[in-house]
Amino acid sequence: MAVLDQNLNQAALTQLARREHYTFFGLTLPYLVLVGAMIIIPIGWLFFLSFVGRDGSFSFENYERMINSKAYIRIFLTTFKISILTTFFCALLGYPLAYFMSQISRKWANICMIGVLIPFWTSLLVRTYAWLVLLQKKGLVNSVAVDLGLISEPIKFVHNTSGTLIGMVHIMLPFLILPLYANMRAIDPHCVKAASSLGATPTRAFWTVFFPLSIPGLLAGLLIVFVLCLGFYVTPAVLGGGKVIMAAMKISSNIELYFSWGAASALGVVLLVVTMLILFIASKLVSLDQFGQRS
């Protein structure tokens, strides 16, 4: 075989491969352009804006104000408190339901799933309004409780933390159940059977085999719920009645009422950074977890 200076057709083939690569990239281009123009640029802009002081020059004053102001500290605390509590209650209510759904036949599980999906597909406003109706002084909950003699006077459920929490748990619950259920369904039933055959009581088999295997789904659900809670606006705004102020509401009022873009952007940046941090940590956790699960 004669020795060639250049391999047969190599230049042309390399060009062909490159063109193919670009074609596929090109298909994703409209999407990327839209996301780039409408998320990356505006948020980059906001990031920049957060460093612009009231007089229009570069400054850290927006961030300084946040650290020093009692109001802002309270807002951060409230935001975290509500998010953590919501996440906790979602886990408490959602885990048993997801577990139940994963243990019954597929047919019945799908029927239950419709029950989970109906609120999910119902408008956020409708659900929030429904709780407003149910929880207020002359609402259903109070009327029934008074009629049954459980309480003598209506309890204040709305325009405070309890109302907000109830509403948010109701809205966030499907977000926890969906990934958790998917995970649980995928758990190999033979693992639990094996534990049983080896002598574990049903309770022990659950805690030592099933529960650990369900953790990735649980974590995914907790994560989604927590992150959504951090940035949540509608429900706290309506059910909190101005008494429960979360970060998103402050951002909005900064703009709508005070036109202080600097302050709003700074708070927004903080929210973004916290969100990204949590997602990042979780992504590391999840990849490690899945490694342990494959066997």
Partner 1 sequence: MGFLDKNVSDTQIKLRNRLWLYFLSAIILFLLIVPSLVVIPMSFSSSQYLEFPPKEWSFRWYENYFFSWKVENGFNDWMAATRTSLLVAVLTIFVATPIGTLAAYGLTNSTSRLRAALFPIMISPMMVPIILVAIGLFYFYVQFKMVNSILGLVLGHSLVAMPLVLIIVMSALKNYDMNQEKVARSLGASRPRAFVEITLPQIKFSLISASLISFLTSFDEIIISLFVSGGDNSTITRSMFLALRDQIDPTIAAISTILIIISSGLLIISQLLSSKSK
Partner 2 sequence: MADSSLNISINDVTKTYGDFHALKDVSLEVTSGEFLTLLGPSGSGKTTLLMVLAGFTSPDYGSVKFGDEEVILKPPHLRGIGMVFQNYALFPHMNVVENVGYPQKLRGISKEDTRESVENALATVKLDGLGHRRVDELSGGQRQRVALARAIVFQPKILLMDEPLSALDKKLREEMQIELRQLHDSLNMTTVYVTHDQKEALTMSDRIAVINDGQLMQLGTPNEIYRRPNNAFIADFIGESSSLPATVKNGIASIGSAKLKGAQKLEKDGNFLLVIRPEKLFIATKKSRDANHFEGVVEDSIFQGESQLMVIKLDPQNYGEQSLRLRLPNGSAQDDELPGIGEKVTLGLKVADSYFVEAANGGA
Using CB under 8 A, which residues numbered 31 to 90 contact partner 1? 31-32, 34-35, 38-43, 45-46, 49
d(CA 172, CA 130): 15
Under rule CB under 8 A, residue 9 binds partner 2 = yes
Interaction residues for partner 1, span 165-224 (CB under 8 A): 170, 173-174, 189, 192-193, 195-196, 200-202, 205-206
Q: Which of partner 1, partner 2, none does residue 35 bind to, with CB < 5 to 8 Å depending on kind?
A: partner 1
Closest CA to 96 of 37, 30, 173, 151: 173
Largest CA distance in the chain: 102
Identity of the residue, 7 or 68, whose beta carbon is nearer to partner 2 in the bound complex? 7
Q: State in angstroms the smallest separation of the CB of 88 from partner 1.
A: 15
Choices 15-23, 33-41, 96-104, 232-240 (CB under 8 A): range interacting with partner 2: 15-23
User: Do residues 180 and 98 make contact, with C-beta atoms less than 8 angstroms apart?
Assistant: yes
Rounded to an integer, what distance in angstroms lies between the CA atom of residue 82 and that of residue 214? 25
Name the residue nearer to partner 2 (CB basis): 18 or 156. Answer: 18
**Residue pair 165/85 in contact by the 8 Å Cβ criterion:** yes
Determine which residue in the list 67, 96, 156, 208 makes contact with partner 1, applying CB under 8 A.
96
Cβ neighbours around 85 below 10 Å, total: 16
21 binds partner 2 (CB under 8 A): no
Q: Per the structure block, which two tokens stand in for 218?
A: 């649980």
Going by C-alpha positions, the residue among 187, 192, 178, 210 that lies closest to residue 112 is 178
Task: Choose the one of partner 1, partner 2, none that binds residue 16, judging by a C-beta under 5 to 8 angstroms depending on kind.
Answer: partner 2
Cβ neighbour number for residue 245 with a 10 Å cutoff: 17
Based on CB atoms, which residue is closest to partner 1, 234 or 286? Answer: 234
Between CA 185 and CA 105 the distance in angstroms is 11
Q: Which of 234, 282, 285, 286 binds partner 1 (CB under 8 A)?
A: 234
From 3, 5, 7, 152, residue interacting with partner 2 (rule: CB under 8 A) = 7
